[in-house]
Amino acid sequence: FQVSRGPVRDAIRILEREGLATIYPRRGAVVTVLSLDEVREIFEIRAGLFDVIARKIAAHHTPQYLAVLSAGVEKLQELAALEDDHGKYAEMSYRLSILSARNCNNRRLTNMATALSLQTLRYSYISLASKERRKASAQLWKDSVAALKQGDFQRFISLARRRIEESGKAAVERALLR
């Protein structure tokens, strides 16, 4: 790609800082593989962070955020119905999670949630591989949007946490079956 080593090294260091790569001296870098316990821990932390994000969104959200979230959830419903979505559902779910993180008005919280979401993205692809699991997740997203629109903030917060907890549980179960 006609790129010098410096920018490549910097990019790999960024990936290492985000927990996505592991650098071995004199051997190079590899994609970080997490143990099942680490996957559980990260999803647990993510659920807690998104609990806080959901609380902040419930307290202050804009009509624009709600419109984009609603459109995204409609897209999730379509993707959930496909026999093989080629990972597009997990990608859209990730984007909606990051949208929420960016709309919580707390930059540090957004950065932490984004970093952990990136670390678990590949496990989310695994957990959302089945049509049944995607449909269950899409229903949680749909119920969350309905709760937010109705002003049922406790339900909105609860569903946000449940969605991540179920994704983590499914990722661990699928990894155990591999």
pLDDT in tens, 2-12: 888 888 888 88
Using CA atoms, how far apart are residues 81 and 134, in angstroms rounded to an integer?
Answer: 8
Higher-confidence residue of 8 and 32: namely 8
Tell whether the model's pLDDT for residue 92 goes beyond 90. yes
How high is the pLDDT of residue 121? Answer: 87
In tens, the pLDDT along 127-162 reads 898 999 999 999 999 999 999 999 999 999 999 999
Dihedral of alpha carbons 78, 83, 88, 91, sign? positive
Q: Which residue has the higher pLDDT, 101 or 126?
A: 101
Residue 177 has pLDDT above 70, yes or no: no
| pTM greater than 0.85 | no
Q: What is the mean pLDDT of residues 99-106?
A: 96
3-class DSSP state for residue 61?
Answer: coil
Task: Determine how many CB atoms are found less than 10 A away from the CB of residue 81.
Answer: 13
* Mean residue pLDDT across the chain: 91
**pLDDT top residue among 17 and 155:** 155
Residue 85 CA to residue 135 CA, distance in Å, equals 12
